[in-house]
């Protein structure tokens, strides 16, 4: 479905991604792991069209995403739930969700999905007229995921959904992620919480300093000794 090949991304002189190749097949849940600053968020921003690659290709079901605008990319069904949630604090829960569905034309489908997200996250249903800023961190994360789901994604990009959340809330979030996976939603999950991520993932990649240093199935990665190294090492960073 999604294929990145030898992608290079740089911010000015700083190289964020170097020769990154990865693949997400339909129905899979693929984890993208790595320490802070390894380039995981950059990868997602590149897929979403916010950042342009200098080299390499980003192809989704045959369409070259590197030439497409973020507007078009969402239209293709690639929807990101960004790092730090980034919900619209001044808008109500309902308005946030409405914005998630803003590109869709099928109002009955939108209504169905609204019921669906409220069944996934009952607390959002209770707070539907509250503004986003009044929600707790965990509720905001749920809103962010729900908002992304409202776009009827065929590929869901999740950026660090567990960041800054209490363990019990993280569990609840990952239960939802597991449920989505069960329903067949294709997911690319960026996470620092290795344990939880590998518990749900079919396959995974590990980034360090902008490069893919490890790839394999969930089980292979779990037992790989290099995994720990990738997080703790002070390996020379690419072009920084």
Partner 1 sequence: MSALELLLQQLINAVSIGSLYALMAIGLAMVFGILRLINFAHGDLIMVGSYVALLLQVLGLPFPVAAVAGVAASTLAGLAMERVAYRPLRGAHEIAMLLTSFSVTIFLENLAIILFRPTSRPFPAPAVLRSVITMGQLRVAGLDLIAIAVTAVLLAALTLFVRRTNIGIAMRAASQDLLAARLMGINVNRVIATAFAIGSFLAGVVGLLWSARVGKVDPLMGFNPVLKAFVASVIGGLGSLPGAVLGAYVLGGLEILLQGLLPSALTPYRDALVFAILIALLLFRPNGILGSTEKEKI
**Residues at the site binding partner 1, with contacts judged by CB under 8 A:** 48, 50, 70-71, 73-75, 79-80, 82, 86-91, 95, 98-100, 102-103, 147, 151
The smaller minimum CB distance to partner 1, of residues 72 and 220, is found at 72
Cβ 141 to partner 1 shortest distance, Å = 14
The smaller minimum CB distance to partner 1, of residues 3 and 103, is found at 103
The span from the CA of 109 to the CA of 21, in Å, is: 35
Contact 46, 3 (CB under 8 A): no
The span from the CA of 135 to the CA of 92, in Å, is: 10
Cβ 98 to partner 1 shortest distance, Å = 6
Sign of CA dihedral 108, 148, 172, 218: positive
The span from the CA of 122 to the CA of 71, in Å, is: 30
For the chain, the distance separating the N- and C-terminal CA atoms, rounded to the nearest angstrom, is: 32
The distance from CA 185 to its chain's CA centroid, rounded to whole angstroms, is 12
The smaller minimum CB distance to partner 1, of residues 14 and 102, is found at 102
The smaller minimum CB distance to partner 1, of residues 53 and 151, is found at 151
Phi and psi at 87, nearest 5°, equal: -80, 165
Instruction: Tell the burial category of 204 from Cβ atoms under 10 Å away from its Cβ (0-12, 13-18, 19+).
Output: buried
Cβ 144 to partner 1 shortest distance, Å = 9
Cβ 221 to partner 1 shortest distance, Å = 28
Cβ 75 to partner 1 shortest distance, Å = 6
The smaller minimum CB distance to partner 1, of residues 81 and 227, is found at 81
């Amino acid at each position: 479905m999604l294929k990145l090949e030898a992608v290079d991304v740089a911010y000015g002189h700083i190289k964020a991604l170097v020769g990154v190749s990865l693949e997400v097949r339909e129905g899979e849940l693929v984890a993208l792991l790595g320490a802070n600053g390894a380039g995981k968020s950059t990868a997602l921003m590149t897929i979403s069209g916010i950042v342009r690659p200098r080299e390499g290709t980003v192809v989704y079901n045959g369409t070259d995403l590197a030439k497409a605008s973020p507007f078009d990319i969402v239209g293709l069904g690639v929807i990101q739930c960004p790092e730090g949630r980034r919900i619209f604090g001044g808008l109500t829960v309902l308005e946030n969700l409405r914005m998630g569905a803003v590109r869709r034309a099928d109002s009955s489908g939108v209504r169905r999905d609204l019921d669906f997200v409220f069944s996934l996250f009952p607390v959002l249903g209770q707070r539907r007229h509250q503004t986003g800023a009044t929600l707790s961190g965990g509720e905001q994360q749920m809103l962010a995921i729900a908002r992304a789901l409202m776009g009827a994604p065929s590929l869901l990009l999740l950026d660090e959904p567990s960041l800054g959340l209490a363990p019990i809330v993280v569990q609840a979030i990952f239960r939802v992620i597991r449920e989505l996976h069960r329903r067949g939603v294709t997911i690319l999950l960026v996470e620092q919480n290795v344990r939880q991520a590998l518990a749900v993932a079919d396959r995974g990649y590990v980034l360090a300093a902008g490069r893919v240093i490890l790839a394999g199935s969930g089980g292979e990665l779990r037992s790989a000794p290099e995994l720990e190294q990738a997080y703790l090492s002070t390996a020379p960073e690419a072009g920084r």
